[in-house]
Chain A
Amino acid sequence: MNFINIAKHIILIVTIGFLTQCKQYNLSKYSTNNINIDDNLSTKDFSEINLKAYQDSINNEMNEILNWSVREMDVGSPEGILGNFITDLSLFTLNNLNRDLGVKADFCVLNNGGLRTPINKGAITRRKIFELMPFENELVVLKLNASQLNELLDFIIKKSYQNQSRKAGVPVSGIRLKISNNKITRCFVNTKELDLNNNYYVLTTDYLANGGDHMDFFKNCKEKIPTGILLRDAIIHYIEMINKNNTKVDAALDGRIEISQ
């Protein structure tokens, strides 16, 4: 029909007009500006799901003060006060506080990436330990053969030279290393010189035992002994325990990993 043809023409003309217009103007635009969530904003109470009851329950439990720290403690590379503290207490927890498990470890290796926040000087709340170790990581013991041990040592060397991020360095306890020119010059396990003919038992977490944080060498360990102890529970128990003995939380750098020229 004629009418349809006319209509088509009108559409065509409109379209051409429209396209011509497009050459001169921006047809669409966007704006982008991300917004900070600061304390000028009110909080929504979510009364329909009774959020307040959950908040009260969490706050009651988490605001409890477990002990006090003498100093601020944070991770570091090649050695950090926080890493020393946590690995020392982990090894102590297994070897001295849980003898009935019948499992002992020669040394302990954790990861700085897993220690999520520094411990401030002053009161340590239960919340702080949940922030420090939010994960449900379990302490496990692995039996290392010579090649796994070598890979672990190479990993420690590599990470010890890094110092750019919180993930640099490897927190250890029970082992002392002197590193020079990317090589280990001396290595002691407790007080004895490392002997690659020995099998060593290392305490770590199930996360790292499964190759987490690129510790692939742990994955191949034939013998893996779970302890049933969560790392977070070990930390909480230890700092509560020393508080009962009127001992404050403290740790120091002691040159357990040293890099020399």
Chain B
Amino acid sequence: MEESKSHNRRNFLKKTAIASLAIPFLSSFSFSTKKKLKKLTILHTNDMHSHIDPFPLNDAKYPGLGGMTRVASLVDKIRTNEKNVLLLDAGDIFQGTPYFNKYKGKLELQLMSKMGYAGSTMGNHDFDNGVEGFSAVLQHAKFPFICSNYDFSKTLLKEKTLKYKVLNIDNIKIGILGVGIQLDGLVNEQLYDGVKFIDPIKTANNYADILKNEKKCNLIICLSHLGHEYSDDSISDIKLAQKTKNIDLIIGGHTHTFLEKAKKVKNIENKDVLVNQAGWGALALGRLDLFFDKNKNEIIKLVDDNFHKKNYAKI
């Protein structure tokens, strides 16, 4: 009863907010100061591919750019300015520099732990040393891997990853799920022996429903290594957003897509989903600042304030 009421009210508020969107950016700044909205800063990476250091200075495309050590100093800087920071990754942490060949991913996971990552999902290249190689270095990760659509129950990774995670940051309840790509044809079969792939859309809907209705989360984030968008009808972040409900934000990877900012996509219930991706090689850090109403602790309407564009990823 209580729940359905609040649910209806929420829908209503969303609708009114959509209506008010027609009035461009109606005094949102002055209003936010009056209302004391709660702010959550989400930072994210994907496909860092073992780029601990900046790219070599003689690199043809990205000379001297990127690097986890630089992302780390930027995250530190943002943490000193923002109270609520949530740092996430969307997979393919491994493979791409000799650090991985030499140290098997241990160093990447140690760095990410020190940077304070709250979670990641697995990309196809995180299987490059097999399920065995991944579980051998997993102890160095002080953050969980959230893999909702890989069934690891018949492998070494049994009970070592999470189906979903609920976090409470400043009384904002955040639910996180994670979907990975079909490994067939992408990864050497022996490397993912025993791993069962489950349909990402069904899985995402299933766990998003649990997170929304059972766990009462105010915000639901889906980490995804499906890829941003394809010209054929392969499942992608855009398709996932369109065919699911209850998900507010998809943090993607795999296609190494540089976006200036998150895209807004309508879900199956015609509600907004934000879809973002931050290139690759630690060349970009995805950033979203979400403002929650203090009384309800949920996003009522997302209004793109569209300011300071200067960091547009041109790469």
Contact = CB atoms under 8 A, between A and B. Distances in A.
B301 A31 contact: no
Interface string B90-129: 0000011111111100010011001000000000000011
Nearest to A58: B98
Contacts, number: 204
B175 to A, nearest CB: 17
A210 B169 CA distance: 45
Interface of A: 18-19, 22-39, 41-46, 48-49, 51, 54-55, 57-58, 61-62, 118, 120, 127, 130-131, 134-136, 206-207, 210-214, 216, 219
Given A31-B306, A54-B107, 9 more contacts: A27-B293, A30-B289, A32-B261, A35-B74, A36-B65, A37-B70, A46-B110, A58-B102, A135-B128
B282 to A, nearest CB: 6
A29 B28 contact: yes
Closest 6 CB pairs of A and B: A29-B303, A43-B69, A44-B72, A32-B261, A32-B262, A27-B300
B276 interface: yes
A140 to B, nearest CB: 11
Contact of B301 (A29, A118, A214): A29
Interface in B299-315: 299-309, 311-315
23 contacts: A24-B26, A25-B20, A25-B26, A27-B301, A28-B300, A29-B28, A29-B303, A32-B287, A33-B309, A33-B311, A33-B312, A34-B260, A34-B285, A36-B314, A37-B65, A37-B74, A38-B65, A44-B72, A51-B69, A55-B52, A62-B98, A136-B101, A210-B188
Given A23-B20, A30-B289, A36 B311 contact: yes
B167 interface: no
A28 B298 CA distance: 9
A219 B184 CA distance: 12
A28 B107 contact: no
